[in-house]
């Protein structure tokens, strides 16, 4: 999943983080995630697709998906994917926070991982 999202990421946000991450998940897993208007609401949809929440502090793997809850000026929240080169959504992020408001306020988040049955 991580290589798919990197191919489509821009240099700056286009306000389409959930769409970018959702499309990468769908492309790689060959599934269709149920749509929702806001990134903050994708957690249950990821779980329905077979991704599972992991404990904060668990070492990250490429393909892990993080849902960040809303912060000041960003009521939709944010959805991003971890890659070998860091976090990506609809743009290549400089760190785990998609912008200054998130970096300053550090809202809660949940990270999800797709565990292939063959990996267990």
- For residue 116, CA distances in Å to 9, 29, 88, 98 come to 25, 10, 22, 28
Q: Look at residue 14 and tell me whether its pLDDT is greater than 80.
A: yes
**pLDDT tens readout for residues 54-77:** 999 999 999 999 999 999 999 999
**What phi, psi does 66 have (nearest 5°)?**
-120, 135
**Element housing 14 (H / E):** none
What is the pLDDT averaged over residues 88-115? Answer: 96
Instruction: Identify the pLDDT of residue 9.
Output: 81
Instruction: Identify the pLDDT of residue 50.
Output: 93
% of the chain with per-residue pLDDT over 90:
79
**Cβ–Cβ contacts within 10 Å for residue 49, how many?**
19
Q: Could you tell me the residue range of the domain that residue 93 belongs to? A: 2-119
What is the pLDDT averaged over residues 86-95? Answer: 96
Residue closest to 25 by CA, chosen among 41, 10, 45, 40: 45
CATH number of the domain that 76 lies in?
A: 3.90.1720.10
Give the pLDDT band of residue 29 (cuts 50, 70, 90). Answer: confident
Contact partners, residue 9, CB within 8 Å, separation at least 6: 20, 88, 89, 90, 91, 92
Gap between the Cα atoms of 120 and 106, Å rounded: 32
How many domains in the chain?
A: 1
Q: Look at residue 106 and tell me whether its pLDDT is greater than 80.
A: yes
Computed over every residue of the chain, the mean pLDDT equals 91
């Amino acid at each position: 999943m991580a290589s798919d999202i990197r191919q489509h990421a821009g240099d700056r946000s286009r306000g389409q983080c959930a769409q970018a991450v959702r499309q990468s998940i769908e492309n790689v897993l060959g599934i269709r995630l149920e749509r929702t208007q806001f990134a903050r609401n994708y957690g249950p949809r990821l779980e329905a697709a077979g991704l599972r929440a992991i404990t904060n502090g668990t070492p990250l793997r490429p393909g892990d998906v993080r849902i960040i809850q809303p912060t000041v000026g960003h009521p939709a929240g944010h959805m991003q994917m971890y890659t070998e080169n860091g976090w990506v959504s609809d743009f290549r992020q400089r760190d785990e926070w998609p912008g200054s408001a998130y970096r300053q306020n550090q809202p809660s988040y949940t990270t999800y991982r797709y565990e292939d049955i063959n990996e267990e």
